Amino acid sequence: SEKDGFGEYKYANGDTYIGEFLNGLKHGQGSYSWKEGERYEGEWKEDLMEGKGKFSFADGEVQEGDFKANQFVN
């Protein structure tokens, strides 16, 4: 069944998403943690990082602001 609402999902590759789903897609507010150490906290739209968010790299660098289609805009 499709996931809707708030939940946690652990992927087979070791990544984890905790946040909102709509029709099985990451949508709304959520945080995604990559097993390599990166992390994104913020807004999602139809499975993509889109809206206001904060991306933390494994080395400590942070991008914070607007994201569009998984890319940091500014």
Q: What is the pLDDT of residue 1?
A: 65
Q: What is the pLDDT of residue 3?
A: 85
- The verdict on pTM exceeding 0.75 is yes
Q: Within 1-74, where are the H helices?
A: none
The span from the CA of 51 to the CA of 68, in Å, is 6
Q: What is the pLDDT of residue 2?
A: 81
Taking only the tens place, the pLDDT of each residue in 18-69 is 999 999 999 999 999 999 999 999 999 999 999 999 999 999 999 999 999 9
pLDDT surpasses 70 at 5: yes
Q: What tokens does 11 get?
A: 């992927």
Please list, in sequence order, all residues whose beta carbon lies within 8 angstroms of the beta carbon of residue 11, skipping any fewer than 6 positions away: 17
